[in-house]
Structure 1
Amino acid sequence: MNSLWKASIFMVGASTIAIGTQASAQAVAGGQPGGDAAVQSGVPAPAPAADASAAGEIVVTGSRVVSNGNQAPTPVTVVSTQRLLETTPSSISDGLNQLPQFAGQPSQRSIGSAQGNSSAATLNLRHFGSNRNLVLLDGNRLPPAGSGGAVDTNIIPQALVQRVEVVTGGASAVYGSDAVTGVINYILDKNFNGLKFNSQAGLSTYGDNASWRVGVAAGMPLFDGRGHIEASFDHYDSKGIKDVAGRPLGKDYWIVGGAGTQANPFRLVKNGRTLLGSPGGMIVNTTTPGLADTAFNSNGVPTPFIHGASSGVNGIESGGDGGYYDDGTLLAPVRTNQAFARFDYEITNDISAYVQGSYSDSAAKYPYASARYVADILSGNPFIPASIQQIMTQTGTKSIQVGRLQSRENGLPGRINDPFNRNVYAMAGLKGKVFGRFDWNLNYIYSQNDLRVINHNNTYTPRYAAALDAVRDPATGRVVCQVSLTPNANLFPGCEPLNVFGPTAPSASAYDWITDDTRFKLTNRMNDVNLSVSGEVFSLWAGPVTAALSGEYRTLSLRNRSSAQAAAQPDCTGIRDAANCSASTPQWQHDVSTSMFGKQNVKEVAGELLIPLLRDVPLIQSLELNLAGRYTDYSTSGGVGTWKIGGTWQVSHELRIRGTRSRDIRAPTLNDLFAPTSISPTGFTDLHTNQSRPVNVIRQGNPDLKPEVAMTTTVGVVFQPEWIPGFSLAVDYYNIKINNAISSTSGFSVDVQRECETSNGASPLCSLLERPLPFSDRSAANFPTRVFSQSVNSARSWTRGVDVEANYSFDMANLIKSVPGRLAIRALVAYQPTLKTQTLISLPARENAGIVANPTSGGFGSKVNANLSLSYTSEGLSVFVTERWQSKQHPSDPAISFDLRPDIPAYSYTDISFNYRIRLGDDNTISPFVSIQNLFNKQPPLIGGQNNVPGLYYPTGQGFDVIGRYFTVGVKGKF
């Protein structure tokens, strides 16, 4: 067989891990036939040679016209889902996120805002963001899940996924918008016959995060082979880890903000406590003797507040009586369901019809954060202890402010995030051949994704203010709400006075009266029509010219329905104390969003050519040119063109060189354009006042956004020496530069704050921080009341790096004659020395390569990531060992000072799995398996957050494991 058609990966016993980061083109998948013969619908598959067919060859590409991935100019990675799930049984996406090209994404392991969907499983290539790579199912676009535009891969039927193909290079001209850093294409086994199942359970070494999964798939031919039907169902349930105290370092360390200077660096503080409140409440913001430094560690009893050691930041101490935020969940519980069905029918020898549909849902419910607040209490409130009231009367103090941390420790629940994500996907189409040489495909796709989020125990500001203003009813002597004795009592029916002086002083009825559930439902809907035609148009001296044409029309809409509007002002009628309720206070004190609706339609036309230039001349076994172009018209932002020029030069049987140059785009998502205004309190360190406390962050969309444009260059070489059978080496270089990048510009940013400080308040960026007093005032009273965040086309981002893959496999008998079986070694290395972002032209570019990733942003990470795997297979037994290594990282920008250490050392994790296949007949097998992740229970390092804000040590940075050693046992079967 011609070497151009040879696979660059090798059989590993009974199963194959088909990962050819830049080398692979074809995968031999464990003796199972490969289903689709090409990446995209409408791509002709070459007739395999007899020996390849017998082995179960799968031909994969990164193109609509290239029929062999070895010839593809764009680097392609092919991943066998069997091997992914052997090493990472939780999910296919978790397995992909362990590959060096991917950055770990916020998900179950990194709890974020209640605005988001913590049960989602997203993918992020090159650390450029999950909305800059395109996720496809059999070459077709999938809908976004939630507000960020990323696809939740939980909607894909895991039981029938045959392989995952990853195009690690710019591919917008071939695949469409968003393919800036590449494409992740899930390929289903659409010809599966028989029955298979999977059942497994897992538990961490600490006895938590119990999980279980059950999946089943079935398929059979119908109508004498002219039809085929298949279906699958998968259920996964992970109980999560309740709180940070569930891990050895979880209750010891805080990330503490500072000025980032040698004199006042960012720090990791042991036993961090906030002076904004304690579980029993404390008097804050006063220097009056007898009132200052007074806490209420017992109900109604004033006690001296014991200070801890200074952290260098106002409001944060190490130890003492301050509050501790302990209600955040370390690992969210997640439950997913996925059902899928497909039917194919051959109408004629040249025309087939197909219809498929899926339903999926995912849910996660967990404590989100402690309820923390500063309450203004007016003099005369009957809950004020007598000794405190006496001092207030003597000094003429009209009110005191009580900082309080309401958490599970003092008997009442904090905030609870309750997201539920549901997706419905349906596709119907026709495909066939015309003139015996052109493949065509016409399909229609409808999808709808609904994200419903309930924020339990949200505090309603007017009720909260009314409950705080307690008085004694002169008629009955009972403690009542002051507003209940006024003509405005009808505005607050059933008002329950709130006592904040002591750990368990607030009554359950009062807490229930001031809180309620807020909710929103975000719906993404897509209608998509696709038509493609491809085939050989004519022949040249070096071979046939292959072309592909495609057109697409889709409509997208995004609707948010919210029970509480972020921009709404509270109705403070009848409230005496403006400090607790006024036009500047939010109606709801925690995450809410605004109802909105946005839509767009997109028209696309694309073409691709594969032109053979030379063949079988000295030093050129073959030379091919690959051209692609696409024009896309967005109803919201106008038209834009993308293109790609690529080529492959097969020097000899052993050496191949390839490269591409492309112009790629990411259009603004509907959320970028029309994002509902949202408000959420976030921990914030203000460089202007050197204060650290929560502040309301206002986020909103920008309808004037334009598509961002990227220029991508890739150059690679693949070496397969015939004198080392079973060995291959691939090296690929990439360079991606994005202009006009969509970036969220926020007063929360340290860079924005520095720009504002440097300009002494004159910079337009200062408007992103709303202050109650003139900029010249640097006292604590001038801490921002609101911080604004909005996306603009102002950023530039660029990255470059090198991917390396080496494969070597051989029969053990060649090494030791008496030892049976086969050994395979694989090394994947991703070196990314540059990852720069310039958020504003007026700001310097920031180098993010080698900077630890923010736990809630997806972040950046190590410059070097590597996977070294060793697999041994003998008869029914297979053993797979993986070493995941990442180079050292800085805890923040090198220009910023940390007091702990200059950097975080290199880290590695070891995973091991055992699988034993028992044959019950020719095609019937039962395979029990055991998987151990993080075999040596490696603990994550102590780090600082990318945004350098106060908070708990956990969750840690992306790429570090918070679970610890994890055991999974199960059994798979195929009949």
Structure 2
Amino acid sequence: MRANLRSAYHSGARRRLPGSEAIALGSRRALIATLLLTGASAAYAQDAQPTPAAPSVSPILSPEVEAAETPDTVPEGESDTITVTGSRIVRNGYDAPTPVTVIGLADIQASAPANVADFVNQIPSVAGSVSPSNTQRNLSGGAGGINTINLRSLGTTRTLVLLDGHRSVGSLATGTVDVNTIPQGLVKSVEVVTGGASSVYGSDAVAGVVNFILDREYTGLKGEFAYGETTYGDDVSYRATLTGGMEFAEGRGRALLSGNYVQRGGVFGAGPRDWKNRGVHLIQNPRYIAGNGEPEYMVAYKSGLNTTTGGGIITSGPLRGTYFGQGGTVNRYDYGPNRLNNLPWTVGGDWQLSQQYYATAIQPEEKLTSVFGRFSFDVLDNFQLFTELSYNRSKQHSWGGYHTDKANVSILGDNAFIPAAVRSQLNGAGFTLGTWNQDIPTRESNYDREVQRYLVGFEGSFDLLSMDWKWDGYYQRGIMNAKEALVAANRVKLGFAQDAVRDASGNIVCRATRDGSTNPLAAGCVPFNRMGIGVNSQAAVDYIMGTPYGDRRLQQDVASLNFSTNVDNPWLKPIGLAFGVESRKEKISGYVPPEYASGWYSGNFTATFGQYTVTEAYLETLVSLPWSFEFNGAARYTSYSESGDVVTWKAGLSFAPIEDLRFRVTRSRDIRAPNLSELFQGGARNTNSIGDPWQNNVAVRYTQTVTGNLTLEPEKADTWGLGVIYRPSFVPGLGLSVDYYDIKINGAIGTLGPQDIVDRCFTGNIELCNRLQAIIGTGQNARTIAYGTNGFTNATGPGAGVSEYLIANSPYNFLSNRARGIDLELSYGFDLADIAGSLGGKVSFRGIATRYLEASESNGVQAPTDTVGENGGNGPPKWTYRLTFGYALEPFSMQVIGRGISAGVYNNNWVECASACPASNTINRTIADNHIDGAFYVDTYFAYDVPIGKVKSQLYLRIANLFNRDPAPVGKGPSDTSNVDLGINQTFYDFLGRSFRIGVRFDI
């Protein structure tokens, strides 16, 4: 694929001009477009089209924009064939029936991201991607530090990420590719195919393809050094890239080496940001009683949990509300207006005692190092051998909040640490405590990943049957090694340590030590006081703390062989033809020390082992038809060792009734095969809390174990795409595109969340009840029971209710998903001199937006749930958009960007009401205010070219969130799992505030 592929949107008029006039106009427009991009004009180019090259004005940005004119304007000696990511067929003048968004180098540089994923995730068709900032509490799930791309909000596993058209090894067992592994300094463009492409590129392309294109032809030495920080002085970052390329053996050989280093300081404890003190949560309305017309839920400010404080609070019995402070002082908790009910939330009063914002990282600390090398040699004039080698290492450090126990700590009546003032009121009885254990260090995560990639391949051409053929092939091995390490407390040891009693000499010791316990974890037990802050020794802390870890290894082997040609058609344009075969093997293995498999607040790692193979063959064709029609079709046969055989296909038709107007329609069958995690997961565990419907939604801890399912089948998606592209010749430089998509997935793979399982069991779903067990009672009286006629509560037994749920979960092909929406793009660029000769400079405008119409999921039993506009979770928002204004007057260039999302709600199924509310149920809850504000941010970019001798250099300044807008308040809840959240959504809103990045680029 030629390096300077750009959209014809940059060309202006599409009318055909004879001879030299066409060439002159094409050159002028190419120059204008190049200058506009030098001024960092917007990055988006729907319907990428092959166009002849024009010289770049700024070698630093080197976008090499092409003017969209007729093929006869291709400069002598340049190839006139281009491969568009939406297709494997090589053909000049090809308009893809599947929309392709092209992001150019200039636009990436104008954003000056620490990682190119930060920019790609601002494309409106991308929503809900996983990033380090929204996985900081995902301590043992393996996703910490990962940067992913989520097209159409269908999930990162349904977006296929490619590097120069080749697959890359994933960094998670789900197969998700970490964009950190892309050689950042070599990316010259990113092509996004927003639509099904499984028939062209294989499994996982249900939502589309993101293809990172590298500048493989670069010669010289270039680099970039940048420094950034927020307006609060935190998240200090450094970025350095250095790339060198050279030719040898009289130009037959080429060597390319690129290195990238990024260090990001992160933000721990939210820093000095005022919004951290809002105390906003989604809670149960304290005035709500079923049938009284009050809304069940409400969004409350200055709210916090009353079931947990830093030094512990008694949560039941006559001493409820007694809490322990610094040095073990005994205090009385102020419950505020809802002090008479039994809800876990306090509004007003002592709400701040549960705040833990200083124990959580809103932006983890990161360190990325990568090296990429490519070496090629033209063995013959029409045959090249090449190899690519890369090494990437990413390290991430984060805080995940304190070790919280929500009203589930049993303090026995003879505990030696009970203060005398409290003991005198107990008459020998014990009590239940809630605490976030301020004396125990916050939970920490440390991820260390290494990704290696080795590739050997060839590409060339030959003549056969009077046709010119192109062929290429490669073998690639990718290896990912990860160590996931935590700093966490051991529950079993803490249980021994908190059970403190006096021995015969009156010394405070662990009961297990005094009574001679044979449990090996009791060895060396040091008593730990759960009642107070600053009341424990370092030895006590050291006894209960540990560093659980797990090692994970992924290996991917891929071999591919591809052919393409054009078959002469005496009546119309040649028929494009491409076909090929591919074989792939995915493998996972791991190691977890036995002592880290269970018993920890965070961690409890399990190793996963398994592998599967894939064999594929595909055929694609492009046929010109009479009356300006063009047909593109593809089919692929795929055989999975674990999931059976499947056929995918695509049919696209485009129609250009006039030169300025083109219509297109596509229909495709796409698939996603179950990944290594879904097939072989060894038993991933996580622990948190849910609202128990049998106990008036009081928070109850759960432990969930998720195992793989070898009976899974591939997901099947049917996709429609309809689009129109308009480039009026009477308004040079103006372009408009509108594309509608409709993706319906049958047999989608998924798991229900813990809260859903419990809620649906409560409403009578026996199948889900069979996945549940409950622990009744606490301590020595605890016992495990299955679901019964009266649910899990056994009021006559030793426990009054459930203290913990045990949930067995697995993925199944039980879901149906549907995603519908409209992509819009408007672009316009012109030379100010065309308006008035005295004016100088070039101006560009581009607006790109996606209107999400549906993002629904159905389990076949209940009505589909549509999440479009649910800004409190993963959305997507109804509208996402990006508007760009650029201006360039050499050597200066600038860009102003407006980006944002529309307002939304917490849940589309909830009913907003203030009074006379209808009956609330587990699906259609009632809420006082279901609104969540939208957001609009302004970014700026300024650049100045400063040549120093033969060195081309550029200084730049980027300011993101220029007006320092705070994130919209988003209350988490209503269960009390949200006590360490900050009341924001880090997926859709800017939470760092105004940030600056200054840098210098050079090219020798």
Query: Could you tell me which of 747, 752, 755 is aligned with 2:760?
Result: 755
Q: How does 1:40-119 map to 2 (within 5 A)?
A: 49-51=73-75, 60-68=84-92, 70-110=94-134, 111-114=136-139, 115-119=141-145
Inter-partner Cα distance in structure 1 for 2:165 and 2:737: 25
Question: Residues 53 and 333 of structure 1: is their aligned pair in 2 closer, same or farther, counting only changes over 3 Å?
Answer: farther
TM-fit CA distance, 1:284: 2.7
The residue aligned with 2:16 is none
SS at the partner of 1:94? Answer: helix
How far 1:519 sits from its partner (Å)?
0.4
3-state SS, counterpart of residue 717 of structure 2: strand
Change (3 A) 1:841 1:522: same
Distance (Å, rounded) in 2 between the aligned partners of 1:378 and 1:464: 14
Q: Retained in 2: the 8 A contact 1:217–1:231? A: yes
> What is the identity, as a one-letter code, of the residue corresponding to 2:397?
K
Instruction: Describe how 1:558-957 pairs up with structure 2 within 5 A.
Output: 558-564=588-594, 587-614=599-626, 620=627, 622-689=628-695, 690-749=697-756, 752-759=757-764, 763-772=766-775, 774=788, 775-776=790-791, 781-782=801-802, 784-838=804-858, 840-854=859-873, 859-897=874-912, 901-920=929-948, 924-945=951-972, 950-951=977-978, 952-957=981-986
Name which of 521, 542, 566 aligns with 1:512: 542
Deviations 1:119-170 (CA, angstroms, capped at 9, x unpaired): 1110011111111010000100111112332110110111111111111110
Percent of aligned pairs with the same residue? 29
Partner of 2:30: none
- Give SS of 2:801's match: helix
Q: For 1:284-335, what per-residue CA distance to the aligned partner results, in whole angstroms no more than 9, with x for missing partners?
A: 33x2x4x333222243443333323439872221242753333121111111
Shift of 1:860: 1.7
TM superposition outliers: structure 1 runs of 4+ over 4 Å: 16-21, 27-30, 32-38, 51-59, 259-262, 776-780, 896-900, 945-950
Pick which of 591-600 and 179-188 moved more: 591-600
Using the alignment, how far apart are the partners of 1:329 and 1:306 within structure 2? Answer: 29
- Is 1:283 the counterpart of 2:323? The answer is no
Separation of aligned partners in 1, 2:182 and 2:634 = 29
Q: Are positions 1:376 and 2:410 aligned together?
A: yes
User: Would you say the 8 A contact 2:84–2:96 is kept in 1?
Assistant: no
Q: Secondary structure of 2:109's partner?
A: helix
Secondary structure, counterpart of 2:907 in structure 1: coil
Aligned to 1:579: none
Alpha-carbon distance, 1:949 to partner: 6.0
Which runs of structure 2 are paired with 1:204-219 in the superposition (5 Å)? 204-219=230-245
Cα deviations across residues 468-502 of structure 1 (Å, max 9, x unaligned)? 2222231x432222222344368333211112221
* Root mean square deviation of aligned Cα: 2.8
In the TM superposition, residue 254 of structure 1 has moved relative to its aligned partner by: 3.6
Q: What TM-score, normalized to structure 1?
A: 0.89
Alignment check: 8 A CA contact 1:927 1:972 kept: yes
Counterpart amino acid of residue 342 in structure 1: R
Once residues 848 and 948 of structure 1 are traced to their aligned partners in structure 2, the CA distance between those partners, rounded to angstroms, is 20
Q: Aligned-pair distance for 1:448?
A: 0.8
Alignment-mate amino acid for residue 56 of structure 2: G
Is the partner of 1:593 in helix, strand or coil? coil
Q: Is residue 269 of structure 2 the alignment partner of residue 250 of structure 1? A: no
Give SS of 2:171's match. Answer: coil
Residue 366 of structure 1 corresponds to 398
Q: Secondary structure at the match of 1:406?
A: coil
- Please show how residues 168-187 of structure 1 align to structure 2 within 5 Å: 168-187=194-213
Match of 1:451 among 482, 487, 492: 482
The match for 1:347 among 379, 383, 389 is 379
Instruction: State the distance in 2 between where 1:235 and 1:284 align.
Output: 50
CA distance in 1, matches of 2:320, 2:330: 11
- Measured after TM superposition, the shift of residue 197 of structure 1 is 0.8
Given that residues 88 and 933 in structure 1 are in contact (C-alpha distance below 8 angstroms), is that contact kept between their aligned partners in structure 2? no
Q: Which of 450, 462, 470 matches 1:439? A: 470
Give the CA deviation at 1:266.
3.0
- 1:35 & 1:868 partners in 2: Cα distance? 23
Change (3 A) 1:848 1:640: same
* Structure 2: distance between partners of 1:721 and 1:947: 53
Deviates more, 1:264-273 or 1:705-714: 264-273
SS at match of 1:418: strand
Aligned-partner Cα distance in 2 for 1:36–1:56: 18
**Residues of 2 paired with 1:52 and 1:748: CA distance?**
65
Alignment of 1:294-309 (within 5 A): 294-309=322-337
C-alpha contact 1:606 1:630 (8 A) present in aligned 2 = yes
1:617 corresponds in structure 2 to none
The residue aligned with 1:8 is 9
Give the structure 2 partner of residue 41 of structure 1: none
Give the equivalent residue in structure 1 for 2:990: 961
Matched, 1:166 2:192: yes
Q: Indicate the larger mover: 461-470 or 669-678.
A: 461-470
The answer to whether the 8 A contact 2:56-2:64 is kept is no
Q: 1:639 to 1:59 in 2, by over 3 A?
A: closer
Contact map agreement 1:628 1:645 (CA 8 A) in 2: yes
* 1:151 alignment counterpart: 177
Q: Secondary structure at the match of 1:695?
A: strand
Instruction: Assess if the C-alpha contact under 8 Å between 2:587 and 2:610 holds in 1.
Output: yes
Q: Determine if contact 2:674/2:713 at 8 Å carries over to the other structure.
A: yes
Distance of 2:540 and 2:254 partners within structure 1: 61
Q: Determine helix, strand or coil for the equivalent of 1:452.
A: strand
In 2, Cα distance between the equivalents of 1:59 and 1:782? 61
Contact 2:616–2:638 (CA under 8 A) maintained in structure 1? yes
Report the secondary structure of 2:610's partner residue: strand
Segment drifting more, 98-107 vs 369-378: 369-378
In structure 2, relative to structure 1, the CA distance for the partners of 1:849 and 1:88 (3 Å cut) is farther
Distance 1:944 1:789, change over 3 A: farther
Q: Which amino acid aligns with 2:511?
A: Q
**Structure 1 residue 726 displacement after superposition:** 1.1
Equivalent pair of 2:82/2:92 in contact (CA under 8 Å): no
Given that 1:9 and 1:18 are in contact with CA atoms closer than 8 Å, whether structure 2 keeps it comes out as no
Which residue is 1:42 aligned to? none
In the alignment, is the contact (CA less than 8 A) between 1:7 and 1:70 conserved in 2?
A: no
Distance in 2 (CA, whole Å) between partners of 1:302 and 1:5 is: 70
Q: Residues 785 and 946 (structure 1 numbering): CA distance in 2 closer, same or farther, change over 3 Å?
A: closer
CA 1:73–1:131 in 2, change beyond 3 Å: closer, same or farther?
same
Cα–Cα, structure 1 residues 680 and 313, in superposed 2: closer, same or farther, change >3 Å? farther
Aligned-pair distance for 1:736?
A: 0.6
Q: Which moved more, 1:646-655 or 1:874-883?
A: 646-655
Query: What is the CA-CA distance between 1:5 and the residue it aligns to?
Result: 11
**Conserved in 2, the CA contact under 8 Å of 1:36 and 1:190?**
no
Unmatched 5+ stretches in structure 1? 39-45, 569-585, 615-619
Letter of the aligned partner of 1:269 in structure 2?
A
Query: Which letter maps to 1:936?
Result: F
1:666 deviates by 0.6
Going from structure 1 to structure 2, the CA distance change for 1:292 and 1:19 (only over 3 Å counts) comes to closer
* Structure 1 residues 183 and 904, CA gap change in structure 2 (3 angstroms): same
Query: CA 1:48–1:493 in structure 2 vs 1: closer, same or farther (change >3 Å)?
Result: farther
Give the Cα–Cα distance (whole angstroms) in 1 for the partners of residues 635 and 561 of structure 2.
16
Tell me the secondary structure at the aligned position of residue 37 of structure 2: coil
1:25 aligns with 2:49: yes
Q: CA deviation at 1:830?
A: 1.0
